[in-house]
Structure 1
Amino acid sequence: MMAATAFAGSEDIAAARHLARSFLTDVHKMHHVPVSDRARGVVELVVSELVTNARKYAPGPCLLTLEVVEGAVEVTVWDSEPRLPVAQVADPDRVGQHGLEIVMALCRSIEMHREPVGKRIVTAVALADDPIGDEAGDHVC
């Protein structure tokens, strides 16, 4: 199951979060795939952070794709800015610019790729909580 949509304005960040909620509801109800409350919250937050960054730093539209792959939701955001984001050094006094840090901490994996036009960021969020308590799993960059 996959969902995709393009966004062109900052008002679409709320629409992206709504798409994520609807997608996970459909995954659970229509395909009987378990989706933990944690996964719902993390996917919505990751979508919000990635689409916000795309709208803030890229000059054109962005594309959001959600797909279930091997027990996880892959959240993919493409935008027209070719520069890859870099997580800043942790600084508790810094106001803002923590989005990439948050995404990296919460996702099972994150990949960044330059494209012929722009870049693509792909993250994976586990649908079920890990029974041994390591909910985010191994982190791959």
Structure 2
Amino acid sequence: MESVLLGDEEPTPDTGVIRVATALDGDGACIAEARHLAAEFLGRARTGHGLTVSDRALDLTQLVVSELVTNARKYASGPILMDLRIAGDAVDIAVWDSDPVLPVARAADPGRVGQHGLEIVMAVVERFEVRREPVGKRVIARVNLLDAARS
């Protein structure tokens, strides 16, 4: 297991954005590593930057990170890039992988075993977006930091 921290979490002076990015090698431990990095990042946002981050937002962010990194690991070979950005009262979770096939949420089916991750993510986030990249794709989800409840 190896990840490389690509950014720091100092606010960008002109935008106030707090950001951290990492490259994950795509092995079995990368999911837990990504979840742990997200928890640490939001914890430091609370203590180091004085931001309000609800416990629910922390839990949902870890859930979304787990699901997005799991999908990237399952469907693409090679490294995975994860970028976490806090701007205002939300955290954007962006996960890049090399697979060009865009994910599609399946219709709800209580009888289906597995493959519910994307529909769960879409149910708990404020915004969900998929972008095709020159190589692969980037999946971006936004979680509200205050109470993380959808309105």
TM-score, normalised with respect to structure 2: 0.86
User: Root-mean-square deviation (CA), in Å?
Assistant: 0.9
Q: For residue 7 of structure 1, report the CA deviation from its aligned partner.
A: 1.1
Amino acid at match of 1:49: E
Alpha-carbon separation, structure 2, partners of 1:106 and 1:71:
16
| Counterpart secondary structure, 1:112 | strand
Residue by residue over 1:9-65, the C-alpha shift from the partner in whole angstroms, topping out at 9 and shown as x without a partner, is 121111001000000000000110000011000000000000000000012211011
Residue by residue over 1:100-119, the C-alpha shift from the partner in whole angstroms, topping out at 9 and shown as x without a partner, is 00110000001100000000
Amino acid at match of 2:23: A
Alpha-carbon separation, structure 1, partners of 2:88 and 2:133:
25
Q: For residue 70 of structure 1, report the CA deviation from its aligned partner.
A: 2.4
Give unpaired runs (5+ residues) of structure 1: none
Amino acid at match of 1:28: R
Q: Kindly, what percent of the aligned residue pairs are identical?
A: 55
Which residues of 2 match residues 1-141 of structure 1 at below 5 A? 1-8=18-25, 9-129=27-147, 135-137=149-151
TM-score, normalised with respect to structure 1: 0.92
Amino acid at match of 1:40: L
Residue by residue over 1:99-138, the C-alpha shift from the partner in whole angstroms, topping out at 9 and shown as x without a partner, is 00011000000110000000001110000017xxxx123x
Q: How many residues align?
A: 133
Check the 8 A contact 1:125/1:136 in 2, yes or no.
Answer: no
| Counterpart secondary structure, 2:100 | coil
| Counterpart secondary structure, 1:120 | strand
Alpha-carbon separation, structure 2, partners of 1:10 and 1:56:
10
Give unpaired runs (5+ residues) of structure 2: 1-17
